[in-house]
Structure 1
Amino acid sequence: MTDPAPRDDDGDAERRDIPTPWWQDQYDVGGLGMARFFAWAGLLLGAGALAIALFAPLEGQALRTVWIAGFGAAAMWVPWMAIPRYRREGVAVSRVVPVAMGLGALAILVAIYAFVVIWAASGGVMLPAPDYWLGPQAPAAPGVPT
């Protein structure tokens, strides 16, 4: 097998003094700008996922918790992509990254608890939870004390 022919653009933009955009580095995978973008986007996703997990009207539909857990997983995955970019630049990982991942993990935990609450309520066991997590209760028959 022969060696590939040398190329003109070897990817070393610093040596050639060609500026790279903030979202790229010499490997075209993103530099410090993309790391910061992923960290802050993950923080927004984490805050949104946690807000949805706490305040979404689930109405007794357990599959809605799957969507919440998915948003929580995305809120953990996006800032996770920032870590190698920070390390490649030789910069300490931003504190936003673990906060965003923690918010995503909290959203997943709340979604798991909401699923357990809905599942337990289907069997007649009432766990502490907001009313909007459970479906509307059937009205009592008139004249029957409850």
Structure 2
Amino acid sequence: MTISPPDPTAFRHVMGHFGSGVTVITTGSPESPVGFTASSVASLSLDPLLVMVGVATDGDSLAGIRESGAFGVNILSRDQEALAMHFARSDREARFRDVEVRTRSTGVPLLGASLAWLDCALHAEFPAGDHVVVVGRVESCDAGAGEPLLYFRGRFGGWLS
């Protein structure tokens, strides 16, 4: 008896039950920024300090990370659902319109109003189906006060303790 793998719709439904934080990944330069909303982000190592991000192979984001050799992870706060949707829109050119950015160690744009941020140098990448797992070495990071924006079952929400 052979068992076939689930179809992508079933897989997406099941994975929707795994709550995750919401981030905006940024790269490029302040003059030519690239950014996208991502929830496939995780800490990877403390020695050295590494994070990993799943990046689709079919857009300009992966090319931007490779070209700049760096990326930012901007962790969104509970009240930034509109910002998450803004960076998920198909009009990539408009994503940074009216959005405050700053730079740190690597020079990639970081969002000015995120809950927390990590400025990362590209450390490694690994092919993973229709994505690439990008590993960044954390060059600098900081966090402010507030609650994170979470994503669960296709909806945004907040932390309930």
Larger relative helix fraction: 1
Higher Cα Rg: structure 1 or 2? Answer: 1
TM-score, normalising length: structure 1: 0.23
TM-score, normalising length: structure 2: 0.22
Larger relative strand fraction: 2
